[in-house]
Amino acid sequence: MNATPSLAAEMQSATSEIFLLDADTLAVVDANQAARLNLGYDSAALSGLDAYALAPALDRTALAELLAGLGEDVGAQVGLRTRLRRSDGSSYPAKLTLLRIVRDGRRLLLAIGDDLSLEHAAVLALEQYQARFNAIVDHTPGLVYQFVLHPDGRADFPYLSEGCPALLGLSVFELQHDASLFEALILPEDRKGYHESMQASREELAAWNWEGRIWIDAWKDVKWINLRATPHLLADGALQWDGIMTNITASRQAQEELQRSRERLAELTAHIEHVKEQERTRIAREIHDDLGGNLTAIKMALAMLAARLPDDQPALLDKANYLDDLVDRSIEAVHRISLDLRPTTLDLGLVAALEWQAREFEKQLGIPVLLRFADPDIVLDPDHATALFRIFQETLTNIAKHAGATRVTVSLRRQRQHLLLTICDNGRGIQPADRLKPHSFGLRGMSERASALGGTLALSAAPGGGTMVTIKIRLADPGVAGSARTSNTAQQE
């Protein structure tokens, strides 16, 4: 009696699952350790099974046709995919390779099985990842894309999401067939910025960020788009950007409208300041001319009356002297109020006005003010001179209220086509939070005045401590300055 065929020793220790099957009945003759362990059967249990018990999903007719095509030649082989069932009822995907062999004159099939569980898990994970990616991309507002620039200058879009038609008015097929269609959408005046930003990203391998306008011919409309992408080099020397394009038309329109609103507000603020200065000038002139003139006349009439009083009426003389002192104080008040409304020194120029205000500050607070005027003959139009003077006044007021300073330094100088007014104190300094206080209208007013002049106002730490205020405005050309000076002289006359 012939012994039952068995697997060779090297097959018994193989890591792949190996079965020895009867070629006619497909019954299991032998199986290696890897097969027994994975299936959960011992040798005795396996010997009572056939291929259909191990793989219930096998179709008998299809398997018969497959084996018939195998022929009778020893060494011929075929492959199939199925699921093998374990002893506990669970199953796993496997690839079976069947080979014809002959052992001791008996026709056998050698079945080599490869467990595909990891492969299937990887495919499933990839499918899940792809599904999540598609879900995210499909719900992303805008266009997710890949853009490649080849060493020979060619460009293409290897990947474009389904947002392409909605954003660009072009199908994915059109843009992938001809990448130059995208650049053709960009308005001519914006293409230079597009190329410059691409080149900067290419040279520095830094993020590509560009905003520009495109023309959508299908809708006869202009859109603002934002392009953000990250570059990385490919093996062939090409550069690929992975990024997203979004429609920012609404936000750009809102920004432009906000900018227009700010400009209109700045114009209104400048107009209001101009009207206020005109009204101050008018009121100061009326107070000085009318009230001052009336008070002077009253003083003269009072002096004449006092001179006619009899010497034997000391009480009346005291009353007259009291009234004369009262008129003097009123004249001084009129003079002070007029100067507060509009210093007459402004008519003599900005430098004279700054010097007067500095001396008044010293007189009132006892804080010395050092003046450094590189060009005492600087001439500005009246509006600019008044605005700079008011900023200077407000700065001194802030120093008096908050700085705790013992010295102030003021410089006024030209810097090419600009005029710089710098006020430094040696006080406690200003904190960043102080600028954000809800009621810090002084600082805001100073900044608005500077902006109305087309200039800037900057706050910084002064050398050695304290605060430095720097106002920078652009000087008008000599022709404009001369015309402003002539106009101012004519108004004074």
Closest CA to 19 of 94, 73, 88: 94
Q: Are 224 and 247 in contact (CB under 8 A)?
A: yes
pTM for this one?
0.50
Judge if 442 and 350 occupy the same domain.
Answer: yes
Among 193, 214, 247, which residue terminates a domain? 247
Determine, yes or no, domain membership for 420.
yes
Determine, yes or no, domain membership for 129.
no
Judge if 14 and 110 occupy the same domain.
Answer: yes
Report the DSSP pairing between strands 239-247 and 143-149: antiparallel
Backbone angles phi, psi at 83, to 5 degrees: -125, 130
Judge if 363 and 432 occupy the same domain.
Answer: yes
Determine, yes or no, domain membership for 187.
yes
Residue-by-residue pLDDT tens, the chain, 493 positions: 456 788 888 888 888 999 999 988 999 999 999 999 999 999 888 888 999 999 999 999 988 888 888 877 777 888 999 999 999 999 999 999 999 888 877 888 899 999 998 888 888 888 788 777 766 666 677 899 999 999 999 999 999 998 899 899 999 999 999 999 999 999 999 999 999 999 999 999 999 999 999 999 888 889 999 999 999 999 999 999 999 999 999 888 888 888 888 778 777 777 777 777 777 777 777 777 777 777 788 878 878 887 787 877 788 888 888 888 888 888 888 777 777 777 777 777 888 888 888 898 888 888 898 988 877 777 777 778 888 888 888 888 888 888 888 888 888 888 878 888 888 888 887 766 665 555 555 677 777 777 777 778 888 888 877 888 888 888 765 444 444 444 444 444 3
* CATH assignment at residue 51: 3.30.450.20
Judge if 102 and 42 occupy the same domain.
Answer: yes
Determine, yes or no, domain membership for 258.
no
- Count of domains forming the chain: 4
Phi-psi region of 312 (alpha: psi -120 to 50; beta: other; left: phi over 0): alpha
Tokens linked to 72: 């009778």
Residue type for 307, please? A
> The domain containing residue 322 runs over which residues?
270-340
Judge if 389 and 304 occupy the same domain.
Answer: no
Determine, yes or no, domain membership for 131.
no
Tokens linked to 350: 């900005």
Sheet holding 221-233, edge to edge: 155-160, 143-149, 239-247, 221-233, 208-216
Determine, yes or no, domain membership for 314.
yes
